[in-house]
Amino acid sequence: MWRSQIIVERLDRVPVHRQQTEFVERKGLGHPDYIIDSACEAASRALSRYYKERYGMVLHHNLDKGLLVGGSSRTWFGGGVVETPIYILIAGRATIKVGEEEIPYHELIKREVEEYIRENFRFLNPGEHVVIDTKIRPGSLDLKTVVELNKETPLANDTSFGVGYSPLTPLEKIVYESERMINAREFKSRIPESGEDCKVMGLRIGNKYFITVADSLIASLTPDLDHYLSVKEQIKSSVEELAYKILSEEKDVEVSVQVNTADIPSKNSVYLTVTGTSAESGDDGNTGRGNRVNGLITPNRQMSLEATAGKNARSHVGKIYNVVAKIMSERIYQEIGGIKEIYVRLLSQIGRPINKPLAVSLQYIPEDNVNEQSIVKEAIEIVKEELENITKIEEMVLQKRVTLF
């Protein structure tokens, strides 16, 4: 009989939002690390759909070893050209043959990645600007057996852990929502010069917020330096407005936003791209170096370093446990109340049913004068409920109804 240990403990420390210093980062839609994460995840989705349609279940695969090698380009005010295409390599293990039937994995993956690029980029042409390659080998027999042994409740195919926490601090919200705003269709319709490669770094020292934005402006839509500088000012103003809106309930805050701080206008050295991503000109990407499942990189927080992208959503706890830990933490914070911060950590053990982790750790900072016994009891019930329904994560991932990075 598999049993999970659930350990609950109170944290006696200052919540992150009240600590003196906080760092937060988000790599946006067109960042090379985000692109390669997305490509690996697209590869996993493509194989998963094929496996389910053909064989009734997601078969063993793990495609989280991706590399993006940046191309080369030349830009100028009013135009530019990509001289060497971006190279995307997706590597890993997968079921590539069932009986005598060969799985057309390369074609499936290439088509899915190209579709992802077309859906998310306005100027990056997958046929012209990107080369998509795969290096996929069969998985080991023991892991294949573990993944496909139990059709009701999959068995964990790794010993790993996932982490989730709630709530986001104001700085975390500013960083996340700034990038999402800049890459929203409405923003691009107003400021089409803004490229998809947008990275946001946030620093808070006390009540002073410093936001650094890197946004790859589209060269063909930027005729001269004055136009470039006016677009930078529009981006800056938009982020400032958003930040003050998020901080509306905070007192005596100051916000400083800077955009494309490496620019040297006097030398016409500015951040222009042909396609909207720095990947076109030498910036590389590697799966797992980007955002965690909540879309952020947060050194003030507990984090898992697992690459969620490309792992199969049926049994790979490196993906599943990070997603479900996030869901658990959000539910505990929103539904119970009386909590300043909650951290959820789940540890798997290879071969155990995924709904029976080896251990679940809940760590919380309570509000003053609350019934902590009640908090603990209700939190444990939420954990048990989510573990009972953990197989729902597979469909949530395949239908793109959950954030992975």
Question: What pLDDT is recorded for position 2?
Answer: 80
**Banded pLDDT at 100 (limits 50, 70, 90):** very high
Question: What pLDDT is recorded for position 200?
Answer: 98
Tell me the pLDDT tens digit for each residue of 160-171: 999 999 999 999
Q: What mean pLDDT, rounded, does the chain reach?
A: 96
Percent of the chain with pLDDT over 90: 95
Q: From 3.30.420.40, 3.40.50.970, 3.40.640.10, 3.30.300.340, which CATH number describes the 16-26+169-286 domain?
A: 3.30.300.340
SS (H, E, C) the chain: CCCCEEEEEECCCCCHHHCCEEEEEEECCCCHHHHHHHHHHHHHHHHHHHHHHHHCCCCCEEEEEEEEECCEEEEECCEEEEEECEEEEEEEEECCEECCEECCHHHHHHHHHHHHHHHHCCCCCHHHHEEEEEEEEECCHHHHHHHHHCCCCCECCCCCEEEEEECCCHHHHHHHHHHHHHCCHHHHHHCCCCCCCEEEEEEEECCEEEEEEEECEEHHHCCCHHHHHHHHHHHHHHHHHHHHHHCCCCCCCEEEEEECCCCEHHHCECCEECCCCHHHHCCCEECCCCCCCCCCECCCCCCCCCCCCCECCCCCHHHHHHHHHHHHHHHHHHHHCCEEEEEEEEECCCCCECCCCCEEEEEEEECCCCCHHHHHHHHHHHHHHHHHCCCHHHHHHHCCCCCCC
Tell me the pLDDT tens digit for each residue of 14-64: 999 999 999 999 999 999 999 999 999 999 999 999 999 999 999 999 999
Higher pLDDT, 4 or 149: 4
Tell me the pLDDT tens digit for each residue of 158-208: 999 999 999 999 999 999 999 999 999 999 999 999 999 999 999 999 999
| Rounded mean pLDDT, 236-254 | 97
What is the domain partition of the chain in residue ranges? Answer: 16-26+169-286
Tell me the pLDDT tens digit for each residue of 73-89: 999 999 999 999 999 99
Question: What pLDDT is recorded for position 150?
Answer: 61
